[in-house]
Amino acid sequence: MSEQQAPVFNIEKLYVKDLSLEVPNAPYVFMEQEAPNIEVQLQNNGTSVGDGMYEVALTVTVTAKNGDKGYFLVEVVQAGIFRIEGVPAESIEPIMAIACPNILFPYARETVSDAVNRAGFSNAKPNRSRLAKYPFSNWAVPLCSALLPFLWL
């Protein structure tokens, strides 16, 4: 009787594989009074990188624009190397499509939040007295609200 190998699922490494940030209409975008429309796209893929080792990459693209005027574009590819062994072959793909992206998402969210903050679109809870001095105060609060799933407040 052969012994069946116990299932193994380990995170070997988490890393930012790619990061892109564009603020095409700076500095004028900071003087806008209208809130931009926020679009979020998610995509993931996984590939084998060795015996029982898999790289899974989660791509998060966040676009803020008003009509044709772009406020910012952030794209993060958060990746990880995972050891997956002792599971049926037909279970590998669902693990890479569901379990691994769930692990990667909080790290991608933090990277998006940091990039948006460094681009000048603060993700901190707004101080209304400070924001009232600036024309963009009318859209800063809706922007923070729209990005809430991506922000570490």
Coil/strand/helix, residue 97: helix
97: amino acid identity, one letter: A
Residues 6+ apart with CB under 8 A from 133: none
Identify the pLDDT of residue 148. 52
For the domain made up of 8-150, the CATH class stated in words is alpha beta
Identify the pLDDT of residue 35. 84
For the segment 62-99, what is each residue's pLDDT rounded down to a tens digit?
999 998 999 999 999 999 999 999 999 999 999 999 99
CB 34 within 8 A of CB 66: yes
> Around Cβ 141, how many Cβ atoms within 10 Å?
14
Q: Which of 23-37, 107-121, 133-147 has the lowest mean pLDDT?
A: 133-147
Residues 6+ apart with CB under 8 A from 48: 54
For the chain, the structural domain boundaries read 8-150
Residue 149 banded pLDDT, cuts 50, 70, 90: low
Identify the pLDDT of residue 146. 52
Q: Kindly state the average pLDDT of the residues 95-115.
A: 94
Does residue 19 have a pLDDT over 90?
yes
CB 66 within 8 A of CB 136: no
Q: Distance (Å, rounded) from C-alpha 5 to C-alpha 17?
A: 32
Identify which of 15, 114, 24 has the alpha carbon closest to the alpha carbon of residue 73: 24
